[in-house]
Each structure stands twice: as structure tokens, then as C-alpha cells.
Amino acid sequence: SLPRDLTGCTLVVTAGGTREPLDPVRFLGNRSSGKQGFALARLAVQRGASVTVVAGATAELPVPAGVRVVNVTTAEQMRKAVHQLSERADIVIMAAAVADFRPVSVAESKIKKGNDEPTSIPLVKNPDILAEVVKRRDQGELPVTRVIVGFAAETGDEQGDVLTHARSKLNRKRCDLLVVNAVGEGKAFEVDSNMGWLLKADGTESALPLSSKNLMASRILDAVSSVLHTS
Ligand code: PMT
């Protein structure tokens, strides 16, 4: 049977991809299905937590029993929801793939083929929600938040730059745990399996071997629980 080690905890998890509109029919998006975020949410409820998912675009996944879902589309909407919910959250897990950039402007009507065909899309940076949550906690604005988990989806292999990039991401974002996904066939985006590494703020690292997203979720929550119960 599952441990009930998250009993009494309030948890916010982001899942899925954000979509940044270009015009009424087009957007910039990504391949996140929400599967990893929903797996975390489902398991966290089973381990006793009270869970809200802030869901961007997902592959029409069924909502796990006992999970509350707040649906959003853009990074800006996800940001508002996360900031509001994190004020009461013991644990914040950012499994969503958030667009780093959005189009500078959204056309009111459909961009058409013709004489004025655009050849490039001017972009502006989106706020980094994870970094903002960490900063708010530092400033004392999130009194109950005890564990902040970031994700990083990196291309390459272990010997290549996946871990190097991830270590610098952890230093930059200063979350408590960083789940590093190696992006590739049969892992990370869209599929049911995942693999990677778990980096902790204290410098310790462990491998997350190729497994189902459910098993991955269980290993991540074990790490969350150990931070909770040792701090
Ligand atoms: O949804 P699935 O199909 O199951 O796939 C799961 C996943 C691969 C999408 C997921 O496990 C994952 O790795 N999510 C993060 C994807 C990513 O590209 O992260 P990143 O390296 O761009 O961002 C790092 C962290 O900062 C993430 O926690 C992200 O949520 C957060 N971020 C990023 C940009 C931004 N503007 N604001 C953020 O908060």
C-alpha cells in the first residue's frame, strides 16, 4: 500500500504546455501532453495531499480522482494561477512546459497569404514563473511553501551537456529539487515513459532510470517527502 506521507499537505502542480496566440487560429506551443504532471497529481492525492493542477494544453487526459484542475492557456495565465495558489501551497511542482517567448502582438484577424506575408514573428520573453516563485519565497511572501520542484527538459546525453545544463539551471533557478528529463524517443514529451536525473539543492544527484511516468512520479514524490521530513 502507498505511504500517506503527504497527508495534510497542499500541493500545486503545473502540467501540459502553454500556448501563445499569434492570431485567432494560430499559436506557438510545444509537445507537452501533461502526462507527467497528471501522474504526479494522481499519486500525490493517493499519498494524502490536497492537489490542484494548473493545466495548460494537455492531450485531453482524464482528471485524476480527487484532483482540482485550473485550466489555463498562456504562460501569463499560468503565472497568475500559480502565484495565487502557491500562497497556500506547501509544495509547488512545475512540470509544465512553459513557452519562454510569446509573439509581441496578437493579430485581431487571421494572418493571410498575400502581399504582406510575414517572414518572421517578433517575440518577447515570458516571465519565468519558477524563478518568480523562488524569489517570492525568499522575500517571505510564501509563508507555507517548503518544497519547490523545477523540471528541465534537455537534449543530449549524460556525457554530453544534459547534466551540465541542468546544474547551471538549478543554480540559476534555485529551486529545492530539479528533475532533469533527457528528451528523445520513448522519453519525456508525449509518451508514457520518462528518464533522467534528480538534482538536489545540496548538490546530491541520483539517476531516474527509464520507467513509466507513474513510477517517475513516485520517485519524485519520495524526494519531495524526504525534503519535507528533514527540513
Ligand atoms: O507533459 P508530458 O508530455 O508528460 O512531458 C513532460 C515534460 C517533459 C514536459 C516535463 O517532464 C518537463 O520536463 N517539463 C519542463 C519542460 C521544459 O522545457 O522546461 P524548461 O527547461 O523550459 O524550464 C525549466 C523549468 O522552469 C520548468 O519547471 C518550467 O516549468 C519552468 N519555467 C520555464 C519557463 C518559464 N517561462 N516559466 C517557468 O516557470
Per-residue pLDDT in tens (0 to 9) along the chain, 231 residues: 889 999 999 999 999 999 999 999 999 999 999 999 999 999 999 999 999 999 999 998 999 999 999 999 999 999 999 999 999 999 999 999 999 999 999 999 998 888 777 789 999 999 999 999 999 999 999 999 999 999 999 887 666 688 888 999 999 999 999 999 988 787 789 999 999 999 999 999 999 999 999 999 999 999 999 999 987
pTM: 0.96
**What CA–CA distances, in Å, run from 158 to 154, 155, 203, 204?**
10, 10, 17, 16
107 within domain boundaries: no
Domain span at residue 129 reads 10-102+122-230
Residue 116 in domain: no
Q: Looking at the domain assignment, is residue 130 inside a domain?
A: yes
Q: Are 96 and 32 within 8 A, CB to CB?
A: yes
100 Cβ below 6 A of ligand 1: yes
E strand or H helix that includes residue 209: strand 205-212
Q: Does residue 150 sit within a domain?
A: yes
Tell me, yes or no, whether 112 lies in a domain: no
Domain of 46: which CATH number?
Answer: 3.40.50.10300
Does residue 83 lie in a domain region?
A: yes
What's the domain count of the chain?
A: 1
Structure-block grid coordinates of residue 163: 547534466
- Is any atom of ligand 1 closer than 6 Å to the C-beta of 150? yes
Q: Is residue 4 part of a domain?
A: no
CA of 198 from ligand 1 middle (Å) equals 14
- Tell the residue number behind the cell numbers 498562456, with chain if given: 74
Catalytic residue at 214?
Answer: no
ipTM exceeding 0.95, yes/no:
yes
Helix or strand or coil: residue 72?
Answer: coil
